Structure 1
Amino acid sequence: MIHTTVGQLGHFFVILSFVTALVATVAYFLSALGLGKTSALTEPVEEPQLAYAGESGLGSKKAKHKIPSKQTSQPEAADKDDWRTLARWAFYIHGAAVIGVASSLFYIIYNHYFEYHYAWSHSSRALPVQYMISCFWEGQEGSFLLWLFWNAVLGAILIRTSGKGSLSRQWEAPMMAVFALVQAFLASMILGVIFGDSFKVGSSPFLLLTEAMPDAPIFTADPTFVPKDGNGLNPLLQNYWMVIHPPTLFLGFALALVPFAYCIAGLWRNQPLEWIRPALPWTLVGGMVLGIGVMMGGYWAYETLNFEGYWNWDPVENAVYVPWLVLVAALHTMLIAKRSSTGLKMAIILTIATFILILYSTFLSRSGILGNASVHSFTDLGLSGQLLLYLMAFVVLAVILAASKWKYIPADKEEASVYTKEFWLFIGATVLCLAAFQVIATTSIPVYNKVLESFGKISNLALPADQVAHYSKFQIWFFVVIALLTGVGQYMWWRKLENKKWDALITPGIVTMLISAALIAFGEMKNPVYMALLVASVFALVTNGTVLLGVMRGNYRLSGGAISHIGMALMLVGILYSAGYTKVISLNNSGLLISKQEEFTKDNNKQNKENKLLWLNQPERMGPYQLTYRGKRIEARDVPGYIPRQDVVVIEGDFHGIAQRDIEQNGKVYHKKGDTLALYPENTYYQVEYREPSGKIFNLYPRAQVNERMGLLASPDIRHKTDRDMYTYVSSVPDPEAENTWEKTETYSVAIKDTFFLNDYVAILDDVARTNEVEGVDIGPNDAAVRAKVRVLDKNGEHIISPAFVIKDRMVAHPAEVSDELGVRMQLNEIDPRTGKFTFAVNRTQRDYIVMKAIEKPLINILWIGTLIVAIGFLIATVRRYREFSKMQNKAV
């Protein structure tokens, strides 16, 4: 059935959102110009006065232009603006249309309307609801829609709060003009309108398969064809972090627009300083949310990917990390803008740069320019030119406006002294910008190559072969400096360095050296770079901790900066130990070559040395642990934990299975033998039993999906301990196609107590005895059944194989017994009472095994704790700055 109505409705909402965003842009622009006001008053006013370091009081420079008065004593009727009223309604309708688009798209995904290309490409019937939500933003169109949604929400909040004071009302029109313009550009990305034969604006998420793939043979044969199922969500994205990480990240992107819009509005209104106070709380919450979003992505990578860490300096990771660094730098310069002309200029530049860098990161990840350089990048949907236009439009707008209004920023009368807090905050912001530049300069190599190719040149530039080493060797030193500056800067901020004396830092310095020396000696730290980072981090902890104690005695609301810096220092300590002192414990000391695959033979057989081969149910020593691979496990939707793979016959392509025995967990029977149960897709787990020296046992369940499109996708399982994580993942598993491939049948005729060789093992037929129980066969009084007991010896002990011989209703059955540990299937085919010989048919196959890697990551929890503390510090600072602005508004009303 073709469900075209919902798609048509969704596309109508897309067009409506685009048109209303344009209307809101024009209306707010005209309102900002002062048109449409019925009774607003204007009067000559002095340019807002700026006080900078070195001045005895307020500045004295006055402007010669007019701006709208603040209307502090005029009635509300004096503020009536017809254009603003139109703009507000247009933006509200725009927001409602965006919600309509999102609802239509999710309705299509949730109801499995696979005639739509987006649903077919990104979802499937087997996905649970939370992963259907992830499907929504897996594609480019859905992620643009998510960005649109957050911008619409923030825009509505800004409009609603603008009526609470004249200070807010005066910013609404110019600021929301920028907001609405951004929304118009974003809405155009999902417009999906074609002009003429080739000019396309946007990519619609509501395309039917027949429209997206008109030349597909299936539609030539059957134009009404609808697939029964979709391609499904990328297996790597089937993780709960992918449900919350993208929305958080895009909320951070949206929040970065607010200070940018305030900045543009301030320049537009010839008020280059006044925008900072209302923008500061939004900058703080934006830094908090964007930082959390970045770290959520890191934790997703840590839990899902197998590169053994949380940050791989992937180009798309870098493209998000850089705007956050610049946003934090902008935040610090905003704090000193009132007293420093240089700080104000820097705040304007960095606030603009943050938003431009977010647009640039969007261009990098969605234009296809990164190609195979990133695991996160999207393929080009024909939007690269449109993305470039989007980027350049705001670059040109911001640069021209800033250049034309630069004259309104007076210069400092005196040079900044090293004994002022402004100097140290400015230096800190500069170092953050240098760190960001180093990352983005290298990340942009594919862009340089593309630009040169467009001019007919061939570039030999390439991204670093070892990107982790390349970026880390620079970023470590940047953050050594940043950590030191946080301590000095906080002391300067709270006036602990008075009379140009540095005595106040002596005690923290001594404490830092004592703690650092103990940690270096105890941890046997020998790398001088690591020592430098440790000393700097400890110094930041000691100094900011001292400041925090002093501040908390007065007013805890002032503690946000110190708390954030303490969290940052803890993050650096966690990164230092978890990345610098990772210990591989799955060492292969057997001298055997585990695999001849390329990835296992490069780097002087490093992978062979660091991976352990485990045969099913055969214990192996690994460091202080005894490891045993206990077999494959699967995950049922209504059964907690994991169940043995052999307990369920999986119905291929249906995401269901038939229970081969009662499915029981923790004493509760969830399914009886023969029941059909729902399974999660691509969910083969491998149970690895760890026995500690104390005898305590714990199990890990790393996942290795053998995916038709992407090959082996290994996801780790992690045991979290207070001081370290045990990180385990599967490097190699048997080929699934070979698992059920049995070799040629071999026969053995032996008598009881005879010894024979079975698959390179010694086997002994111990006994053949009558039995009344054979699985799958009902033995009646007139039936007969016997079971053999074959004992197979190997180096780790013995295994018992017990094939049966059944005569039922004068019919003979030979139920096979399979030993996964030995890779043997055995049947008792004949019994010769004359000779006392028993004939067995034996097939051999690949024994079940895994190749796994296990590493310990010390003190990694300090990284996650530090992230939480940074967020708390940002939150406290946000509340403080918001209250300050609210009080200022209330005074102006």
Structure 2
Amino acid sequence: MPEVGSVALLMSLLFTIYSIIAYIVGLIKKNKKLLKSAQNGVFTNAILTTVASISLLYALITSDFSIKYVAHYTNQALPLFYKISAFWAGNSGSLLLWFWVLSIYAAIIALSKKPEGAKMRPYASLIIMIIGLFFAALLNFEANPFTELGFVPQDGQGLNPMLQNVGMVIHPVTLYLGYVGFTVPFAFAMAALFLKKSGATWIKLTRKWTLISWLFLSIGIISGGQWAYVELGWGGYWAWDPVENASLLPWLTSTAFLHSVMIQERKGMLKVWNVLLIIITFVLTLFGTFLTRSGVLSSVHAFGESKVGLYFLIFMGVVLAGALNLFAINRKTLESENEFESILSKESSFLFNNLLLVGAAFATFWGTIYPIISEAIRGVKVTVGPPFYNQVNVPIGILLVILTGICPLIAWRKSSFKNLKKNFMIPFVLSLISALGFYVIFNIRSLYPLLATTSCFFVLITIFLEFYRGVKARMKMTDEGVMTSLVRLISRNRRRYGGYIVHLAVIIMVIGITGSSAYQKEMEVTVNKGEVIEYHDYNITYNGLKINEDPNKTTVYADLDVRRNGKSYTTLRPAKQYFKTSEEPVTEVDFKSSIKEDLYLILAGWTDSGQKAIFKVIINPLIGWLFFGVNILIIGTLIAVWPDKRQRSIELLKEMHRDG
């Protein structure tokens, strides 16, 4: 089977090179047969990468330890579920996953039969295949997952215990689907520049790709935070780790891009801004991959030092230089069709929103690379900690929340006093009242938490009013019931109301972040068997330690009965797991979630054969809102991305006419 995978990768490299040459020659000579042959090469490449990927999966599942990658990341006792996830646990496997996804995306683009964008598609496919060539070369010459050991060991080294978690199955895959997905709008943007098509056709053609990629990236970030919360055993979900930051950076810039393209579609403005944003977003996806593979920064998420990191750095520089050069050559074709007329307008509010998002991205980027710069200049690696990121990004985040409520409701071109009064008077007054309530009733006295909760309440009111006004108007015109009007309102205005639902999801998550960050409580306590831990509303009885064994590990867990406000609440079993392939124990936390808070327990240690145990008890207010919010985010994005054929056809016809 390793021979099949190796041959498939080699053939994939050859077909990638062929497709690139065929596209170039076909475009120069305008040879349709050659362009068709190039498309077939792209499709063949997708098949070959699929064969290579299936070969690696088969080797992992069947424990073919003659392959170095399989021997390094699996063993006989590893459950099947984690043997499959070992596919992306290491450097070469994760690169194959990236190339596999990219090849499938390239085939979908190349084989599309839709007439719109027909001129751009070959150029975009060419760019995607050039990017694919980099990964194909890496997999064949530097990080081949089918490299053989030369002997067959009796067992493998096994998967890192921290990766044996459901979160590490979801997190990398969704993250890569997001990362790779941004290749498509980047490729179409470069194609539009090369063809000097300054309109919004490339944006409309890639809108679905951008939204889905953004959604996958969002899921990847949140699932990564959830993994950290349940697996790392420190009570949090985000530590401003360099690799965490690297995933956040393209999310920030792509969020800015998603908002600013609406201005170009509607007003023919911000063309330069949009091209630069998609270039930066794509390069930042490469930057994140560089960080995980270079070893230049220490991170629990990184693969460690590797030559692949250097190649990514070089490739990232080449892509950035090439894209910016193409942008500079065609800069004059990106002139705006309209000008900003007022600071109090939808256009201006979206621009402010973008500036804040890019500002947050720059601050986070600077904090991430500063240790590298300091080491290069002074010889000392200065670590930038959470206080820096929080000091900069918390106020920016609050302003972004406020703009989330303002942007959808403010008028285009120039907002009148009447418009402002109609849309914002009720939310503003109710927000002031809520601020007083948060301060007096809920005892929220710190400035940032008070501003954050008040801002969230402001946005919730604006979203509710938008739905209320829409449903009310529809009921008046159609005599439909409330639920029927609501469903049809959303289905016939999917992009608009899907966006509102996404905003609602973001606000729910911000509430979770605010509560868990500002009001987390924790204590460490040593108790004897049978003793009760009293902490706030909870009485936790320690019943002793128990042991559970399976072929993969031995688990020592504490048995604890929990009562809340005097009533039986739950049983928790925090544990230490001793894997047969690892010398260090792994902390396995246990917690109980409610809409109000999480009770989170960590077994820190024990003495006297378990008669006495040490626990860390943490109360995380509202943290469940963060992880619940991503479900609303998925629903809202899917509604927004669901095609509306009538509107789409009208918009594309207009844009194609504009582009000639």
Q: Note whether the superposition's TM-score is higher than 0.5.
A: yes
Separation in 2, partners of 1:306, 1:693: 26
**Farther-moved stretch of structure 1 (517-526 vs 880-889):** 880-889
Alignment CA distance shift 1:622-1:411 (3 Å): closer
Deviation (angstroms), 1:571: 1.4
The amino acid of 1:435's aligned partner reads: A
Q: Which residue of the other structure, out of 186, 189, 192, is the alignment partner of 2:135?
A: 186
Separation in 2, partners of 1:848, 1:271: 74
Separation in 2, partners of 1:318, 1:348: 23
Q: Are 1:367 and 1:381, in contact at CA under 8 Å, matched by a contact in 2?
A: yes
Alignment CA distance shift 1:22-1:850 (3 Å): farther
Q: Which residue of the other structure, out of 501, 504, 518, is the alignment partner of 1:580?
A: 518
Structure 1 counterpart SS, 2:577: strand
Separation in 2, partners of 1:620, 1:559: 48
Separation in 1, partners of 2:341, 2:131: 37
Q: Are 1:490 and 1:544, in contact at CA under 8 Å, matched by a contact in 2?
A: no
The amino acid of 1:163's aligned partner reads: K
Deviation (angstroms), 1:189: 2.0
Structure 2 counterpart SS, 1:203: coil
Deviation (angstroms), 1:332: 0.9
Deviation (angstroms), 1:883: 6.3
For residues 422-467 of structure 1, give each alpha carbon's deviation from its aligned partner in whole angstroms, at most 9, with x where no partner exists: 11111101110001111111101233246x3xxxx43445122xx2
Deviation (angstroms), 1:624: 3.9
1:474 aligns with 2:414: no
The amino acid of 1:573's aligned partner reads: I
Q: Are 1:122 and 1:138, in contact at CA under 8 Å, matched by a contact in 2?
A: yes
1:240 corresponds in structure 2 to: 166
1:458 corresponds in structure 2 to: 378
Q: Are 2:341 and 2:414, in contact at CA under 8 Å, matched by a contact in 1?
A: no
2:562 corresponds in structure 1 to: 690
RMSD (CA atoms): 2.4
Matches within 5 A, 1:434-445: 434-445=359-370
Separation in 2, partners of 1:632, 1:190: 48
Separation in 2, partners of 1:340, 1:700: 57
Deviation (angstroms), 1:709: 4.7
Q: Are 1:164 and 1:889, in contact at CA under 8 Å, matched by a contact in 2?
A: no
Q: Which residue of the other structure, out of 440, 454, 467, is the alignment partner of 1:548?
A: 467
Deviation (angstroms), 1:506: 2.0
Separation in 1, partners of 2:75, 2:527: 34
Separation in 2, partners of 1:413, 1:281: 26
Alignment CA distance shift 1:576-1:350 (3 Å): same
1:320 aligns with 2:239: no
Q: Which residue of the other structure, out of 561, 582, 591, is the alignment partner of 2:499?
A: 561
Matches within 5 A, 1:89-238: 89-160=40-111, 162-165=112-115, 167-192=116-141, 202-210=142-150, 224=151, 226-238=152-164
For residues 315-342 of structure 1, give each alpha carbon's deviation from its aligned partner in whole angstroms, at most 9, with x where no partner exists: 1000001101100101111110145565
**Farther-moved stretch of structure 1 (620-629 vs 426-435):** 620-629
1:491 corresponds in structure 2 to: 409
Deviation (angstroms), 1:630: 2.9
2:292 corresponds in structure 1 to: 365
Q: Are 1:684 and 1:703, in contact at CA under 8 Å, matched by a contact in 2?
A: yes
Q: Are 2:545 and 2:610, in contact at CA under 8 Å, matched by a contact in 1?
A: no
Alignment CA distance shift 1:696-1:438 (3 Å): same
The amino acid of 1:487's aligned partner reads: G
The count of corresponding residues between Structure 1 and Structure 2 is: 634
For residues 538-590 of structure 1, give each alpha carbon's deviation from its aligned partner in whole angstroms, at most 9, with x where no partner exists: 21222232223334555322312222222212211111112211122xxxxxx
Alignment CA distance shift 1:272-1:26 (3 Å): farther
Q: Which residue of the other structure, out of 6, 11, 15, is the alignment partner of 2:10?
A: 15
Structure (1/2) with the larger helix percentage: 2
1:423 corresponds in structure 2 to: 348
Q: Are 1:291 and 1:324, in contact at CA under 8 Å, matched by a contact in 2?
A: yes
Structure (1/2) with the larger strand percentage: 1
**Farther-moved stretch of structure 1 (332-341 vs 384-393):** 332-341
1:625 corresponds in structure 2 to: 538
**Farther-moved stretch of structure 1 (724-733 vs 429-438):** 724-733
Deviation (angstroms), 1:83: 1.9
1:59 corresponds in structure 2 to: none
Alignment CA distance shift 1:23-1:883 (3 Å): farther
**Farther-moved stretch of structure 1 (529-538 vs 295-304):** 529-538
2:438 corresponds in structure 1 to: 519
1:776 corresponds in structure 2 to: none
Structure 2 counterpart SS, 1:491: coil
Separation in 2, partners of 1:517, 1:418: 30
Structure 1 gap segments, 5+ residues each: 1-5, 38-80, 193-201, 211-223, 585-609, 635-644, 656-678, 735-822, 824-845
Separation in 1, partners of 2:574, 2:217: 30
Deviation (angstroms), 1:96: 1.0
Separation in 2, partners of 1:107, 1:530: 51
1:529 corresponds in structure 2 to: 448
Separation in 2, partners of 1:97, 1:551: 50
For residues 744-799 of structure 1, give each alpha carbon's deviation from its aligned partner in whole angstroms, at most 9, with x where no partner exists: xxxxxxxxxxxxxxxxxxxxxxxxxxxxxxxxxxxxxxxxxxxxxxxxxxxxxxxx
Separation in 2, partners of 1:350, 1:570: 27
Structure 1 counterpart SS, 2:351: helix
Find the structure with the greater CA-based Rg: 1
Structure 1 counterpart SS, 2:618: strand
Q: Are 1:10 and 1:100, in contact at CA under 8 Å, matched by a contact in 2?
A: yes
1:716 corresponds in structure 2 to: 589
Q: Which residue of the other structure, out of 272, 275, 289, is the alignment partner of 2:198?
A: 272
Alignment CA distance shift 1:710-1:359 (3 Å): farther
Separation in 2, partners of 1:262, 1:847: 62
For residues 263-307 of structure 1, give each alpha carbon's deviation from its aligned partner in whole angstroms, at most 9, with x where no partner exists: 111101111223111122221222112111111111111111112
Q: Are 1:369 and 1:446, in contact at CA under 8 Å, matched by a contact in 2?
A: no
Separation in 2, partners of 1:537, 1:281: 28
1:374 aligns with 2:299: yes
Alignment CA distance shift 1:301-1:875 (3 Å): same
2:175 corresponds in structure 1 to: 249
Deviation (angstroms), 1:880: 4.7
Alignment CA distance shift 1:706-1:130 (3 Å): closer
The amino acid of 1:335's aligned partner reads: M
Q: Which residue of the other structure, out of 615, 627, 633, is the alignment partner of 1:870?
A: 633
Alignment CA distance shift 1:495-1:724 (3 Å): farther
1:385 corresponds in structure 2 to: 310
**Farther-moved stretch of structure 1 (431-440 vs 406-415):** 406-415
The amino acid of 2:503's aligned partner reads: H
2:485 corresponds in structure 1 to: none
Separation in 1, partners of 2:497, 2:636: 7
